[in-house]
Amino acid sequence: MGRDNQTWVSEFILLGLSSDRDIQVSLFALFLVMYLVTVLGNFLIALLIRLDSQLHTPMYFFLINLSLIDVSYSTSIVPQMLVHFLTQHKGIPFVSCAAQLFFSLALGGIEFVLLAVMAYDRYVAVCDPLRYSAIMHGGLCVRLAVTSWVSGSINSLMQTTITFQLPMCNNKFVDHISCELLAVVRLACVDISSNEVAIMVSSIVLLMTPFFLVLLSYIQIISTILKIQSTEGRKKAFHTCASHLTVVALCYGMAIFTYIQPHSNPSVLQENLISLFYAILTPMLNPMIYSLRNKEVKGAWQKLLGKISGLTSKLAA
């Protein structure tokens, strides 16, 4: 990697959302609360699944992975952003910027692949319920989860490596809330067409391919549900997929909306809003969606709260 006086940048300056001090303080308070809710919500979901043996199924094994991804993704971006809201100097060291880009990009890719894996799990549960336990055995679940983590990490390592080999020519002002891929690539003072091709290929492999697998799974699921004779049976089958389908709509919806406009560059504000959506809003909503829309999770919460209430009463007596 060339690091002469013309190309080496020791740190980057993140311009963030606003330069107004009062707005920064307000955003700090808002995003801090949202981040704490995100961490607490995902931790409680993971703890609940761990404590309730009835939730020791493939679906909830993947949900624990999703919770870990959500918390990690938020943590790769939000704490740095919160610090910058309260400091005058918005610098981030070169190595820290590269690490932030790697982790955020890896975790985003892992989540897209994992959602496709979860769609396959729902497909088997609805379309082949009698063989569900035989198909979705523990070994397969672990291999699918590992595939998600490895594929996202390898893609991120490649993208991060080729991005930080670009000469920046002392361009260090990143017009973004974090070291986001496109924002950093734009700082290069050389032709970036090869990087754009790499980003496009990456988007196809880790965004569109999982999306089409999800789409295919749900076409089969809907077809199977429509063949169910009883209304109660259709409702039960639909509720089996409702939480996952809601999360899929949130995660893929924004990404596809962004990438279906290849000839129009999104504004800086739009890029920041998309990053905030994935770093704060989606990770915060996911545990709520699975808690509020899933009967098994709600039942597990009621059972756990009942045990806690009973234990508290015994201690008080």
User: pLDDT tens digit string along 173-214?
Assistant: 888 888 888 888 888 888 888 888 888 888 888 888 898 999
Q: Is residue 99 part of a domain?
A: yes
Number of domains within the chain: 1
Nearest of 252, 259, 291 to residue 113 by alpha carbon: 252
Number of helices and strands in the chain (H, E): 12, 3
pLDDT tens track for 217-240: 989 998 888 888 877 777 777 777
Contact between residue 14 and residue 90 where contact means Cβ atoms under 8 Å apart: yes
pLDDT tens track for 73-98: 999 999 999 999 988 888 899 999 99
Per-position b or e across 22-43, b if 16+ CB within 10 A of its CB: eebeebbeebeebbebbbebbe
Mean pLDDT of 147-156: 94
Beta strands in 172-264 (DSSP E): 173-174
pLDDT at position 266: 59
CATH label of the domain that carries residue 29: 1.20.1070.10
Phi, psi of 56 (to 5 degrees): -85, 65
CA atoms within 13 A on the CB side of 1: 14
What range defines the domain where residue 77 resides?
11-309
Q: Is residue 294 part of a domain?
A: yes
